[in-house]
Amino acid sequence: MNRQTGFSRRLLLGAGGVALLSSCARARTSGDALPSRAEPGPTGSHPPAGTPPRHLAEPLSAVRGTAPPAEQPEYSVDAGPMTLALTFDDGPGPRYTAQVLAILRRYGVTATFFMIGENVEKYSDVLRQVLAEGHHVGNHTWSHPDLGKRSDAQVRTEIERTSEIIAAAGRVRPPSLFRAPYGYFTRASFDVCADLGLRPVSWSVDPRDWSNPGADAIVDTVLSRACTGSIVLEHDGCLIDGPIEPGGPADRSQTVAALADYLPRLIHNGYRFTALGPQS
């Protein structure tokens, strides 16, 4: 769910996008022949039974940062030529997260999932599956609010509470990545990120999959805009309870279908994939 949120954010997005233009031009490939699928990759493995909850020894106080607050989020990833990052927001979800994981597993791709605290509370088993398969997890606030409409204290609670439940439910360290809802980072959010040792991360390719534009439209946007250093934004969950209706706000079937289509094409064209930051 990514609406435009004001002039200041557009300036930041513009600044981040300009930095990618030269690398995009160099990274594009000339081949148009695309395969129906790529070779499957390795699957992840679950941690052994009885693994101690490491978060108990590493509370938020153990990961507090010392760096000054960031001035803007990261819009790209520097992991070498023809390498980009896939990210999924608003999960974990009871239906589509598993489908996304299955596709990533098929092609041996590692991604980053920015999770909502309320969904982690409901679907902690899905969080653990994401981690067990080697993917990275970031903080996406507790309730997905517009942070510009929250007090400094409320912003801190939204972020701290989410880091705490990700660590507790996943039996891992608190996350090291943060993405603001709608990409709207505020001064208060940068301050909290600095205090908690969180890297603010945005994106550079947005196919607006949350609006259900059709799987083909999602595929076209990703294939035409992704390049070296891109951070691609998609959604595997939604902060909405109740039935999932086709085309409704919690329907991520188009995202799943598009991922299954464009991922082998990118692999065929020589792209590699990296997750953002260390695993929680």
Helix (H, G, I), strand (E, B) or coil at 230: coil
What confidence tier does 244 reach under pLDDT thresholds 50, 70, 90?
confident
Task: Give the predicted TM-score (pTM) of the model.
Answer: 0.80
Higher per-residue confidence, 255 vs 64: 255
Helix (H, G, I), strand (E, B) or coil at 181: helix
Burial 192-202 (b: 16+ CB within 10 A, else e): bbbbbbbbbbb
Catalytic entry in 55, 89, 135, 144? 89
Residue 146 appears among annotated catalytic residues: no
What confidence tier does 265 reach under pLDDT thresholds 50, 70, 90?
very high
Percent with pLDDT over 90 in the chain: 69
Residues 6+ apart with CB under 8 A from 87: 111, 112, 113, 114, 138, 179, 201, 203, 231, 232, 233, 234, 276
pLDDT at 17 over 50: no
Burial 65-98 (b: 16+ CB within 10 A, else e): eeeeebeebbbbbebeebbbbbbbbbbbbeebbe
pLDDT at 227: 98
Residue 195 appears among annotated catalytic residues: no
The end-to-end CA distance of the chain, in Å, is 24
90: left (phi over 0), alpha (psi -120 to 50) or beta: left
Looking at residue 33, its amino acid is A
Measure the CA–CA gap between 274 and 227, rounded to whole angstroms.
Answer: 13
149-193, pLDDT tens digit by residue? 999 999 999 999 999 999 999 999 999 999 999 999 999 999 999
Catalytic entry in 209, 235, 236, 261? 235
What confidence tier does 63 reach under pLDDT thresholds 50, 70, 90?
low
